[in-house]
Amino acid sequence: MAARVQLPKDIRRGQVISVQILVQHPMESGYRLDADNRKVPKNAIRSFTCRYNGEEIFRAEMSPGIAANPFLQFPTLARESGELEFSWVDDAGERGSHTAPIHVAA
């Protein structure tokens, strides 16, 4: 479950930035048919969390009502440089995580 994160280029302290993440996951609806026209079992990322230097700054509960390869863009207040840590778990119990450095100019 790979992910891609995008942050603004020049981030200054106190700025509200948009964090963008795209996670590769089928978010199976439970009613999609495969190439042989058989139902594919439901499997969605249910819980998604973003931590900023260890502190939770965003959490989402999701369903197959979020499209495949879920894309999320959410805001956060830039405080200091460090790391964004993303983690998630799906219906099959599979966990995924991703980290991205964040550089904040004073």
Partner 1 sequence: MERRRFLEAAGGALAASLAPRPLLAQAPPAFAQSADSQALVKRATRGKEARVGKVKLDLPLLADNGNSVPMKVAVESPMTAADHVKTIRLLSERNPEWEMAAFHLGPYSGRAEITSRVRLAGSQRVVALAEMSDGSYWMGTADVTVTLSACVDGTG
Partner 2 sequence: MTTRREFLKISAAVGGGLAVGFEFSEAGAAQAAELTPWVVVRPDDTVIIRYARAEMGQGSMTSTAQLVAEELECDWSRVKVEYADTNDQVRRKRPWGDMAAVGSRTIRNSQEYLRQAGATAREMLVAAAAQQWKASPGDCRAERGVVHGPGGKKLSYGKLADAAAKMQAPKDVKLKDAKDWKIAGKPIKRVDIPATVMGRQFYGIDAQLPGMVYAAIAQCPVFGGKVKSVDESKIKGRRGIIKVVQMDDYVAVVADNWWRAKEALKALPIEWDGGKNGEVSSESIRQFLKAGLDAQQDVVTARSDGNVEQGLSGAAKVVEAEYFTPYLAHSTLEPMGCTALIKDGKVEIWTSTQNAEASHATAAAVAGVPLENVRTHRTQLGGGFGRRGGSQDFVRQGVAIAKQLPDGTPVKLLWTREEDTQHDFYRPVSLIRMKAGLDASGMPVAWYSRVSAPSIIATLLKLPLKEGVDPQAVAAYADQPYEIPNVRIEYAQRNPHVPVGFWRTVGHSQNPFMRESFVDELAHAAGKDPLEYRRAMLKEASKERAILEATVKAAGWGTALPAGVHRGVAVTEGYGSYTAAVAELSVNDKNVVTIHRLVLGIDPGYAVNPDNIEAQMQGSAVFMLTAMFWGEITLKDGRVQQSNFNDYRMMRLREMPKVEVVLAPTGGFWGGIGEPGQASIAPSICNAIFAATGKRVRSLPLKNEGFELA
Q: Which residues bind partner 2 (CB under 8 A)?
A: 29-33, 35, 37
Please tell me whether residue 63 binds partner 1 under the rule CB under 8 A.
yes
Query: Which is nearest to 69 in space by CA: 15, 25, 99?
Result: 25
Please tell me whether residue 8 binds partner 1 under the rule CB under 8 A.
no
Structure tokens at 30: 């439970």
Residue 59 interacting partner from partner 1, partner 2, none (CB closer than 5 to 8 Å by kind): partner 1
Residue 33 interacting partner from partner 1, partner 2, none (CB closer than 5 to 8 Å by kind): partner 2
CA–CA separation, 5 and 53 (whole Å)? 16
CA–CA separation, 46 and 62 (whole Å)? 5
CA–CA separation, 76 and 74 (whole Å)? 7
For partner 1, the binding residues (CB under 8 A) are 16-18, 27, 29-31, 52, 55, 57-68, 70-77
